[in-house]
Amino acid sequence: MTDTNRRVIFAKRPEGWVTPDCFRVEDAPIPDLADGDVLTRNIVMSVDPYMRGRMSDRKSYAAGFELGETMNAGAVGEVIASKNKNVPVGTVVNGMLGWETHTLVKGGAGLMPVDARAAPLSYYLGILGMPGFTGYYGLLNIGEPKPGETVYVSAASGAVGQVVGQIARIKGCRVVGSAGDDEKCAWAMESCGYDVCFNYKKVDSYAKALREHCPDGIDVYFENVGGEMLDAVLANINPYARIALCGMISQYNLVKPEGISNIQSLLINRAMIRGFIISEHFDGLPGFIADMTGWMKEGKLKYRETVAEGIDSAPAAFIGMLKGENFGKQIIRVGADPA
């Protein structure tokens, strides 16, 4: 067993886009365990859009990252040392671990064992994890899609969007998406249940593109993007439309957010926007796991990842994900699967 931990430190707050110098990679000794502590060898790690908010010192729903500390993220690891009888050596766990090869988890707090044989470990960070549950909850509990309705998803091929599209299709909806390149769009239509997916970088006007691709209007919008796209959607919603507000990735790197001009459409159409944070709905997890594994067994769900190799690749993978360079869920492979 190594006694060195390679880790990514939060070195500088970004203004606007995140840049590589916001991070510093370094080696450090692995600290000693106190009673109750657990040490993980990290295997796969997630980078997600909400982390951008944690890098600002603005108030947000997730606690901010502290400068000089190790970044952290949802990850799956294997327990390789333990002074906690509830989490013995050899357990494979899912939890908030560091951007690092090894994490000392104080008191073993927040670790959930995962079944390493039921699915690839990275699935617990994606389709069976937080992003999958986000798509499932937001679509079904806020969007409440009905058969024949039009569902629009603004980041169709992302970790969340690919789940939303497939569930919307299962629910009998017409599913329209957008993504930032042609290959992503083609894949969303081939594999993620989208009837149409258009490349938003190639259209003159979002509003015009939505009018064309949603000729019957939009009944449900799963919002990941914000800004100009939300405004265009508001111009195209149907009466009683529901908008599940999950994220606004287009706005996270702007110093001043874009304005929304079409709020009156909510009134005219008696429509609703609701923001949600998936961590507040964990009571719905059992239903989610049951539905998703059922649909997977029936062959109704597909899933795609982009994997970056090694902890040193985390900053670039995170920055690329914020720019939309990943294709499917962005994962960092930190270490090998358990033998």
Q: Which of 113, 274, 282, 310 binds its own copies (CB under 8 A)?
A: 274
Please tell me whether residue 253 binds its own copies under the rule CB under 8 A: no
Binding to its own copies by residue 16, rule CB under 8 A? no
Task: At 215, give phi and psi (nearest 5°).
Answer: -65, -25
262 binds its own copies (CB under 8 A): yes
Please state the closest distance from residue 141 (CB atom) to its own copies, in A: 12
Cβ proximity to its own copies: between 188 and 249 the closer is 249
Binding of residue 47 to its own copies (CB under 8 A):
no
The piece of 5-13, 80-88, 172-180, 253-261 that touches its own copies (CB under 8 A) is 253-261
Residue 260 touching its own copies (CB under 8 A): yes
- Residues that contact its own copies, how many (by CB under 8 A): 32
Nearest to 278 by CA among 111, 140, 156, 167: 140
CB of 166 within 8 A of CB of 193?
A: yes
Residue 76 has which token pair?
């799956």
Query: CA 328 to CA 157: how far, in whole Å?
Result: 6
* Structure token digits, residue 200: 């938003």
List b or e across 65-77, with b for residues whose CB sees 16 or more CB atoms inside 10 angstroms. beeeebbbbbbbb
Closest CA to 52 of 289, 290, 338, 322: 322
Minimum CB distance to its own copies smaller for 280 or for 312: 280
User: Of residues 213-242, which lie at the interface with its own copies (CB under 8 A)?
Assistant: 226, 230
Using the CB atoms, write b or e for 169-198: b if 16+ within 10 Å: bbbebbbbbbbbbeebbebbbebbbbbbbb
Q: Among residues 109, 277, 290, 316, which is the contact residue for its own copies, using CB under 8 A? A: 277
Which residues in 49-78 contact its own copies (CB under 8 A)? Answer: 59-61
Among 125, 179, 185, 271, binds its own copies (CB under 8 A): 271
**Which residue ranges make up the site for its own copies (CB under 8 A)?**
59-61, 226, 230, 245-248, 251, 256-264, 266-277, 280
